Amino acid sequence: MTEVAEAWKKYMEKITCTIVEHRGKTCIGLHFPFNQEIRAQLKKSPGILWSRTHQCWYLPKDAQVFSRLQKLLDGKVYFEDKNGNAFLCQEMKEDNTISTVVEKKQISESLPVKVAERNIVLSPENLEALKQYRCELILKSYSASTMRTYINEFRSFLQTIRHNPAKSFTSNRMKDYLQYCFEKLNLSENTMHSRINALKFYYEQVLGREKFFWEIPRPKKQKQLPCTFNKDEIAAIINSTENIKHKTMLMLAYSGGLRVSEIVSIKTYQIDSQRMTIFIKQAKGKKDRVLTLSPVMLVMLREYAKAYKPEKSGYLFEGSQPGISYSTRSLQEVLQAAKKRAGVMKPGSIHSLRHSFATHLIEKGTDVTMIQKLLGHNDLKTTMIYLHTSNKDLLKIISPLDDLKLT
């Protein structure tokens, strides 16, 4: 594999392959962090199923099924076995074992450009634009998740305009394209914002047209308040969970306002019981932060450590396979099951525990700038939204109905 192709691995999702025994048959287990797009693709792929026992997707050791999987996820993922062998270009041997065979065409281009819709071929000029786009993202050290989003949105744009050179677009033509996306493609406000951000990066950062998007309006985002649970609901959710690992993860999410990705990626050594802190390393925005370790949380963590004995340098919460972190998808399912047992009917995810953490701190009178630091927000405006979910000031308001003398 070329050095450039190897470098591109970190900008694609990794799927770790393991050998699993499922109902008496040897299968290939697929392990990866929660990704809605990949999950949706796997669900509609024949021969690939979810195993509750192993908490992973799996497929039979069959060359045709594995080949279909490669084509389905081409350009979005690369595969590794648990020993770290690369499966970016892999084949299934006739004896049904996986081998790390480098694809014959060996990525003749300097960058591996993959087009989601195989019947659409990018023009050489737009293909070069996509390569330049990717290079600029790397040089500016954007996160892998942001890169995936931007590249997918920019690639969708290139596929739509076909052989029209992207760099020749004017502001008026861009307005027409965005109107087409909104009216014909029925893209949501959030998707439209992602696409505009991706296109803005190309025209302003890659091509240097600093004011290209100044006259292009953005669709208004829906102003939705975050979903939160009250304290009784959170207590019911936690108390309904008997599994120590599951209970510890749910408590950790609420006690420190952690993101789901932070919970599953945390290492044992990041818990400091002497200083009573939790060190969150390189979270969203590539930022480190330090959280307070709750005494109640420490007791639970010690109970968990006694039962599961996690390695100090390894993941605090491992999945079904040693050395592999617990999946975000599985953790989301843990919460949904706990809500059902507790009779909590509100919609909400693990992130709702983070929202609840911030809301309840505000109700206790914690300074909003301190909450900003605990949550790791860049902008105080992001944290200020929790002022609207708090009932601290609402409880002081007396409804005019209460002033009436009703009989």
**DSSP notation for 104-173:** TT---SSS----SSTT----HHHHHHHHHHHHHHHHTT--HHHHHHHHHHHHHHHHHHTTS-GGG--HHH
CB atoms within 10 A of CB 302: 12
In the block, residue with structure tokens 């690939």: 48
Q: For the chain, which ranges sit under pLDDT 50?
A: 1-5, 7, 83-119
Q: Work out the number of other CB atoms within 10 angstroms of the CB of residue 276.
A: 14
- CA 85, CA 17: separation in Å to the nearest integer? 10
Domain holding 254: CATH number? Answer: 1.10.443.10
Residue 195 lies in a domain: yes
Quote the pLDDT of residue 9: 56
Q: What three-state secondary structure class fits 317?
A: coil
Residue with tokens 């010690």: 302
Query: Exposed, middle or buried: residue 228 (CB in 10 Å: 0-12, 13-18, 19+)?
Result: buried
Which tokens in the block code for residue 147? 């890169």
Which has the closest alpha carbon to 377: 243, 287, 254?
287
Q: Is 394 a domain residue? A: no
Residues 239 and 374 in one domain: yes
Two structure tokens written together for 257: 């306002």
Which are the contacts of 155, defined by CB distance < 8 A and separation ≥ 6? 115, 116, 130
Residue 219 and residue 123: Cα distance in Å, rounded? 30
CB 230 within 8 A of CB 331: no
Which residues partner with 271 through β-bridges? 278
The answer on 177 and 37 residing in a single domain is no
CA distance 245 to 250: 9
Say whether both 250 and 356 belong to one domain. yes
The pLDDT score that the predictor gives to residue 120 is 58
Clarify whether residues 253 and 341 are in a common domain. yes
CATH number of the domain residue 142 falls in: 1.10.150.130
| Domain identity same for 51 and 184 | no
Please give the Cα distance from 56 to 65 (Å, whole number).
Answer: 17
Radius of gyration for the chain, computed over Cα atoms and rounded to the nearest angstrom: 24
Residue 134, exposed/middle/buried by CB under 10 A (0-12, 13-18, 19+)? buried
Q: How many residues does the chain have?
A: 407
Q: Are residues 91 and 171 in the same domain?
A: no
Same domain, 315 and 350: yes
Other CB atoms within a 10 A radius of the CB of residue 190 amount to: 11
Q: What are phi and psi of 59, to 5 degrees?
A: -145, 155
Interstrand relation of 13-22 and 77-81 (parallel, antiparallel or unpaired): parallel
Within-domain flag for 82: yes
Give pLDDT, residue 11: 55
Residue 89: give the domain boundaries: 3-99
Query: Domain check: are 256 and 294 in the same one?
Result: yes
Non-local CB neighbours of 215 within 8 Å, separated by 6+ positions: 171
Identify the domain boundary among 206, 221, 254: 206
H-run or E-run covering 13? strand 13-22
**Do residue 177 and residue 298 come from a single domain?**
no
What is the amino acid identity at position 259? Answer: R
- Total count of domains within the chain: 3
In the prediction, which pLDDT does 14 show? 81
Phi then psi dihedrals of residue 166, to 5 deg:
-60, -40
SS3 content of the chain, % helix, strand, coil (to 5): 45, 15, 40
Same domain, 189 and 44: no
Distance (Å, rounded) from C-alpha 173 to C-alpha 187? 18
Same domain, 86 and 135: no
pLDDT of residue 82: 60
Domain membership of residue 114 (yes or no) is: no
Domain annotation covers residue 399: no
Q: Is 116 among the domain residues?
A: no
Instruction: Give the pLDDT of residue 89.
Output: 36
The answer to the question of residue 216 being in a domain is no
d(Cα 249, Cα 335) in Å, to the nearest integer? 10
Q: At which of 191, 206, 221 does a domain end?
A: 206
Is 285 a domain residue?
A: yes
For residues 313 and 237, membership in a common domain is answered with: yes
CB 5 within 8 A of CB 112: yes
